[in-house]
Chains A and B, each alone.
Chain A
Amino acid sequence: MKLLSKYSRVHIITACTILLISSFAYYFIIRTILLKQIDKDLKVEEQEILDYVVANKILPHASDYKHQQIRFQKIKSSVAFRSTVNTMEYDAKLKEYEPYRRLSFPVRINNETYEASVYKSQVETEDLLQLIMLITAVLFIVLLSLIFIINRFVLGKLWQPFFNTLLQLKKFDLQSMQPLILTKSSIEEFEELNRSVTQMTDKVRKEFEILKTFTDNASHEMQTPLAIIRSKLDLLIQSSFETQVEQLQAIYNATGRLTKLNQTLLLLAKIDNNQYQKPEVVSLKTLLESKFQQFDELIKGKHLTLKYDLQEVCISINKDLVELLLNNLLSNAIKHNYQRGSIECILTAEKFLIANPGPALSFDSANIFDRFKKGSNSDGSGLGLAVVKQICDASNLPVSYFLLNDKHVFQISLAGKIR
């Protein structure tokens, strides 16, 4: 749940509860006050009647004014209680029952006991209450809408710096080497957040830079010793004995692998450092066809069937990179294929697909583009697909891997790069 909705919800629930409780309380308090007022009026009336009885020794006339009725009733019992109750009385004019407040009290005249009842209509009270409740309800709605609006807009505005920071963090890209630029906020907490985030990302960037420089330097420094080993091997085989041949070949191959590995690491560092920038318009169809030519021997060597359906598609990309990309994808498809297997390539304006059957992955396919991730039987460097991924990332080409009908498929989405 979003912070704002959570906050709004709590706010509105609290406000509703308080408003409900308070309106009930309000209702009862006002009602009590109003009843007290009526009771007071009734008492005045009682006093008037009693005074009249004392003065005139007769009962006053029963009366029926609007909203006030006085009735007398002879009662047998000499004991009568004074009581105040709410009743409903039939109103002949309105032809309906109306709420009344009745005060009953005993009146004694000449040893006879009468019960005097004074009725006072509560209609006005009810009307007043209704009006008050209506006003309360309106206020209620206004208040809730205000809370909603405040939460929605004012809080949204208040939290804006936070969302800005969040957005910047989301966009933060180590590769781009751009420092994080956060908008200043007048709110201390957000300013502190920004400071911490900036500090952290600066540190991360620095560490990343150090790591990159290290890889770069280490790989560079390794080139020379590798060159020496290789040159010594080239000399050694001029005069080797047959008994040493296998060992020498093993050293050759190992050196070759080391060299390849090293060069790939350097290449990755270079792509990282954006050393391949200048994009140019490349015809993928032409390039692919030349790659098929180039890999022809390898494809035939494994008796693979090459099927392709290529449309004329030109994209803007660095030529060296796209060549490397296709090299790696093709050699991957050849290497991890069965003897007499197949390779299928499809190139359309939307995407490039390369599919080949092959042994199932011995690791989670989500890690297929990770550096040094390779199957247990692979004698490759484990960097080929990492390079593919890196090139795709650097060129804004989304690349994905999936298994379809027991075929390993690599798909590069070309949408947005078409020229």
Chain B
Amino acid sequence: MKILVVEDEKELSKSIVTYLKEINYVCEVAIDFDTAMSKIQLYDYDCILLDITLPDGSGLDIIRYLKAKNKMEGVLIISAKNSVDDRIEGLQLGADDYLPKPFHLPELSARVEAIIRRKNFGGNTVICFNEISIDTIAKVAYFSDSPLELTKKEYQLLLYLIANKERVISKNAIAEHLWGDEMDMANNYDFIYTHIKNLRKKLMEKGTADYLRSVYGMGYKFTDR
């Protein structure tokens, strides 16, 4: 999977690239409008992470160009502006998703994964992790073809963990993913633990290995290693 990161903040793009590379994405970086345009004209990408405010142009123009050329790239806007208008304009122009800064990297990768999955029409809408498979259209998770009885939150959690497999995900990132940032519960993450515990229990009851590891004090990790 090839991803273009258009972001003028070098440190941020470096973090994004480091994180995404670990999940086996191929990443390229463009730090300004011109570089981004020339890269888009030369190569095809599966997904473009696009900052709207670039030093020499607007990210919205890049989306317009993509749509004019009928390019199939998925576009995820990452913007510091987070204004309703920008979001609406971006999505109306044809961007696939909008992620306001500051975001958690696991959130970003989950969104990228979702975009790529959706863009792959007719392709694979099923995500697999060893014997666990998730039908993202029916929103059902299976363990070796037998469906897992998961609640909505547990399903979302599993999807999120698998999209960030082998990575440590902080409790903060999980809380934000599951409940959004509007629920200002000020670092009270006890309720995450309940969901993790239940999900792990349900997986283990079906006979999976203990993939869901708790990383001391920090968060959780979905891994078979």
Contacts and interface: CB of A to CB of B under 8 A. Distances in A.
A259 B102 contact: yes
A248 B173 CA distance: 14
A166 to B, nearest CB: 38
A73 interface: no
Contact of B15 (A235, A260, A297): A235
Nearest to B186: A379
Contacts of B106: 234
Contacts of B80: 220-221, 223-224, 227
A248 B12 CA distance: 19
Contacts of A229: 102
Interface string B179-210: 10111111110110010000000000000000
Residue among A223, A238, A266, A298 facing the most chain B CB atoms (10 A cut-off): A238
A270 to B, nearest CB: 7
Contacts of B18: 235
Interface string B87-114: 0000000000000111111100000000
Interface size range on B against A? 35 or more
A300 B141 CA distance: 26
A233 B15 CA distance: 9
A360 to B, nearest CB: 20
Given A220-B80, A276-B84, A252 B170 contact: yes
Interface residues of A, number: 51
B187 to A, nearest CB: 5
Nearest to A233: B170
A275 B85 contact: yes
B215 interface: yes
Interface string A80-106: 000000000000000000000000000
Contact of B104 (A220, A223, A234, A266): A234
B81 A220 contact: yes
Tell me what chain A mostly uses at the interface: helix, strand, loop, or mixed.
helix
Interface stretch (A201-209, A239-247, A305-313): A239-247
A297 B194 contact: yes
Interface stretch (A188-196, A320-328, A364-372, A390-398): A320-328
A237 B215 contact: yes
Interface in B135-187: 153, 167-168, 170, 172-173, 179, 181-187
Interface in B1-35: 9, 11-12, 15-16, 18-19, 22
B172 to A, nearest CB: 5
Interface string B201-225: 0000000000000011111000000
Contacts of A413: none
A254 to B, nearest CB: 9
A266 B184 CA distance: 15
Interface of A: 220-221, 223-224, 226-235, 237-238, 240, 242, 245-246, 248-249, 252-253, 255-257, 259-260, 263, 266, 270, 275-276, 294-295, 297-298, 301, 320, 323-324, 327-328, 331, 334-335, 379-381, 384
17 contacts: A224-B12, A224-B80, A228-B12, A230-B102, A231-B11, A231-B102, A232-B11, A242-B216, A249-B217, A259-B181, A260-B186, A263-B100, A276-B84, A297-B191, A320-B84, A327-B183, A380-B184
